[in-house]
């Protein structure tokens, strides 16, 4: 890729000396035509990215208002299509791998950056992002083209299984049932790919509102009871579960819990039980989904939320699935302002946790209490409370 491909760079760096050194490196390489904008905080970076288009972001991981992977996630949320190169003073291979998994295109260690190689590394980062975008667009196009015919095929086979299976010869009925099951599997795969692509690209809208958590969980459990029965597994809501209100998008939260239940059911033994629980805290509400399966292999734990990750990736694996469900969970929960984690369960199995902002805490943080019931809330990031309140007032005045 030619040098002309990079015309504007946003440098997010709170150390003036490091920022000056980088600017001098660009000048030494004759890259004075590059417009290098320097900001000192994540808050300034998010504001700049909301108002301007840049070709690349150079991001320090040691910002006062965004540390480590949180800085990458916030930058990606603000500008998901912009190539991101991380700057850090830590020569940490594990951190580098995590940064790349979070969407960074490259990882540069301060003090080890070579002047001659800097522009080349940035051009490669832009090229990698371009190829990544082309790949995502290809997957999205193929998935959309597959969805309509697959839905039609699955529906037709479903009618044959439901209404005509008894009139078909047993061998034919068996083949139709197999075809129907596999067509449904393909539909789920296409839907998962489209979901992960939309969430990752920032094309999914989140309508945050006040949601009573227990009725939502009861409905999701009921909706998935038939799926669990096919595996000979029970799902129940713990009797000790609390009931509290959270600030969330109910449809997206239902998708999160559905994916966790599907995962737990598939890895539970026949006759097993999946238990859903709710705990409350002053600032957050925790949803837990516990299975009684074999647990997660130690070597797989660091990769469990990656796309297409499978603990058993062989062709002969016994558990179906795309390996996208938990990745979708992670991305949705983080966009809802929450966190997802997991732990080994006492007595065997795994517990997944989803922590979401409690409604009372969201209200105290400045949500508009006078808004009509059911009106969507627009989330924005702002560390300075007074600035956040001014933004909210100006937004209401504009309406």
Instruction: State both tokens at 323.
Output: 């390996």
Note the pLDDT of residue 165. 74
Tokens standing for residue 43? 């808050």
Do residues 10 and 58 touch, judged by C-beta distance below 8 A?
A: yes
What pLDDT is attached to residue 362?
A: 56
Q: State the average pLDDT over residues 274-287.
A: 90
Given a contact cutoff of 8 angstroms between Cβ atoms, the answer to whether 324 and 310 are in contact is no
Range with top average pLDDT, 121-130, 149-158, 214-223: 214-223
279 forms bridges with which residues in the sheet?
286
pLDDT reading at 371 higher than 60: no
Contacts of 121 (CB under 8 A, 6+ apart): 85, 106, 108
User: Could you tell me if 329 and 260 are in contact, meaning their C-beta atoms sit under 8 angstroms apart?
Assistant: yes
What is the per-residue pLDDT for 147? Answer: 80
Give the number of other CB atoms < 10 A from CB of residue 47: 14
Tokens found for residue 305: 């939320």
Higher pLDDT, 340 or 27: 340
Higher pLDDT, 4 or 122: 122
> How much of the chain exceeds pLDDT 70, in percent?
82
Burial 224-243 (b: 16+ CB within 10 A, else e): beeebeebebebebeeebee
Give me the mean pLDDT over the 26-51 stretch.
86
3-state secondary structure 272-324: CEEEEEEEECCCEEEEEEECCCCCCCHHHHHHCCCCCCCCCCCCCCCCCCCCC
Q: In sequence order, which residues have a C-beta less than 8 Å from that of residue 246 and are 6 or more positions away?
A: 210, 211, 213, 253, 285, 356, 357, 358, 359
CA–CA distance from 10 to each of 19, 40, 288, 289, 360 (Å)? 11, 11, 40, 41, 37
Looking at residue 311, its pLDDT comes to 58
CA distances from 286 to 224, 341, 380 (A): 20, 11, 22
Quick one: pLDDT band at residue 8, thresholds 50, 70, 90? Answer: very high
pLDDT of residue 308: 61
Burial 196-218 (b: 16+ CB within 10 A, else e): bbebbeeeeebebbbbebeebbe
Which of 38-52, 183-197, 291-305 is predicted least confidently? 183-197
Question: Which pLDDT score is estimated for 256?
Answer: 92
Query: What pLDDT score was predicted for residue 309?
Result: 62
For 121-130, 214-223, 368-377, which range has the lowest pLDDT when averaged over its residues? 368-377
pTM of the model: 0.57
pLDDT in tens, 171-203: 888 888 888 888 887 887 787 777 777 766 666
User: Dihedral sign, CA of 224, 327, 208, 352?
Assistant: positive
Q: Would you state the structure tokens that stand for residue 391, as one six-digit string? A: 């933004």
Quote the DSSP letter at residue 367.
-
User: CA gyration radius for the chain?
Assistant: 24
Proportion of the chain in helix, strand, coil states, percent, rounded to 5: 50, 20, 30
**Highest-scoring range by mean pLDDT, 120-124, 133-137, 338-342, 392-396:** 338-342
pLDDT of residue 392: 47
How far is 75 from 85, CA to CA, in rounded Å? 11
Could you give the C-alpha distances from 216 to 26, 124, 231, in angstroms and in order? 54, 46, 23
Predicted local distance difference test score (pLDDT) of residue 15: 92
Q: Which tokens go with 341?
A: 């984690």
Q: How wide is the angle at C-alpha 307 spanned by C-alphas 301 and 313, nearest 5°?
A: 65
Percent of the chain with pLDDT over 90: 29
């Amino acid at each position: 890729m030619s040098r002309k491909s990079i015309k504007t760079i946003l440098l997010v760096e709170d150390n003036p000396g490091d920022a000056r050194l980088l600017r001098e490196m660009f000048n030494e390489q004759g890259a004075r035509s590059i417009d290098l904008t320097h900001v000192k905080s994540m808050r300034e970076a998010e504001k700049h990215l909301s108002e301007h288009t840049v070709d690349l972001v150079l991001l320090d991981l040691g910002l006062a208002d965004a540390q480590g992977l949180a800085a990458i996630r916030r930058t990606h949320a603000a500008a998901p299509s912009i190539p991101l190169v991380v700057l850090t003073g830590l020569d940490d291979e594990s951190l580098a791998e995590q940064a790349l998994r979070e969407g960074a295109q490259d990882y540069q260690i301060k003090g080890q950056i070579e002047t001659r190689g800097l522009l080349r590394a940035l051009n490669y980062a832009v090229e990698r992002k371009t190829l990544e975008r082309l790949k995502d667009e290809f997957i999205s196009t193929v998935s959309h083209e597959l969805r309509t015919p697959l839905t039609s095929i699955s529906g037709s086979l479903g009618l044959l299984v439901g209404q005509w299976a008894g009139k078909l010869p047993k061998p034919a009925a068996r083949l139709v049932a197999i075809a129907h099951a596999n067509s449904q599997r393909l539909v789920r795969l296409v839907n998962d790919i489209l979901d992960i692509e939309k969430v990752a690209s920032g094309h999914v809208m989140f309508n945050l509102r006040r949601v009573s958590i227990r009725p939502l969980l009861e409905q999701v459990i009921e909706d998935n009871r038939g799926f669990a029965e096919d595996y000979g597994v029970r799902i129940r809501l713990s009797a000790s579960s609390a009931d509290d209100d959270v600030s969330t998008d109910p449809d997206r939260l239902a998708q999160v819990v559905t994916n966790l239940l599907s995962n737990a059911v598939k890895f539970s033994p026949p006759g097993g039980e999946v238990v859903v629980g709710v705990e409350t805290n002053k600032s957050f509400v925790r949803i837990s989904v516990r299975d009684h399966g074999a647990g997660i292999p130690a070597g797989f734990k660091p990769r469990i939320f990656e796309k297409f990750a499978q603990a058993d990736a062989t062709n002969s694996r016994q558990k179906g699935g795309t390996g996208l469900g938990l990745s979708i969970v992670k991305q949705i929960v983080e966009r809802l302002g929450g966190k997802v984690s997991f732990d080994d369960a006492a007595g065997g199995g795994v517990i997944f946790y989803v922590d979401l902002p409690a409604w009372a805490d969201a209200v105290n943080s400045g949500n508009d209490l006078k808004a009509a019931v059911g009106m969507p809330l627009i989330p924005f990031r702002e560390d300075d409370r007074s600035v956040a309140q001014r933004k909210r007032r100006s937004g209401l005045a504009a309406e």
